[in-house]
Amino acid sequence: MDHPVIKAIEDRRSIRSFRAVPVTDEQVSLLETAALAAPSAVNYQPWHLSFVRQPALLDEINRTAVEAIGRDPAYNIFFHAPLVVFIAADTSRKWGVLDSGIAVQNIALAAHDLGLGSVIVGMAEAAFENPTGDALALRVGFPAGHRFAISIAIGVPAAGKPPHENQPNRITRIE
């Protein structure tokens, strides 16, 4: 029996090296569709998604985060991906951050289906929790009452990556 969704879940990898090839408008539209199809508590959809392809803004967010976390200034938290999706959660919704995580997984699987690579990036939070974070949040379009939840860097992979080893000991069955 064919299980394409299970295969996509098993085959998807966190890619940390991207080619200098833009993500197309059609691909962005499909990623948007996948994100908006994510389930959420009582279907509230407590997220705001900002699809950013502007290199100067991505560089500024990267620099701010790298400085805040004390990494080498040459480090790039987005691995020079041509597209980064920032997901902000509605702070008035108890499950907003969790629901945003579900949306980012939909984006990651859709990117894989489109032949794109992705890596989910939590470190960007450091840029938005910084003294200049409110200004950055406005520049990426976060509405009032929303805060950074998660981001995902997306692009054409520069190289493949072998599968990671699963850890079945992290599962308990109670029957």
Sign of CA dihedral 107, 108, 109, 113: positive
Q: What is the distance between the alpha carbons of residues 170 and 168, in angstroms, rounded to a whole number?
A: 5
pTM: 0.95
Chain Cα centroid distance, residue 125: 12
Q: What is the distance between the alpha carbons of residues 171 and 121, in angstroms, rounded to a whole number?
A: 25
Which residue ranges of the chain lie beneath pLDDT 50?
none
Domain range summary for the chain, segments of one domain joined by +:
4-159
> What pLDDT is attached to residue 161?
83
Answer yes or no: CATH 3.40.109.10 is held by domain 4-159: yes
> What pLDDT is attached to residue 134?
96
> What pLDDT is attached to residue 1?
62
| Alpha helices in the chain, H assignment, sequence order | 4-11, 25-36, 55-69, 96-113, 125-128, 133-139
- Using a 10 angstrom Cβ sphere, with 0-12 exposed, 13-18 middle and 19 or more buried, the burial of residue 165 is exposed
Q: Nearest 5°: phi and psi at 152?
A: -145, 130
> What pLDDT is attached to residue 160?
83
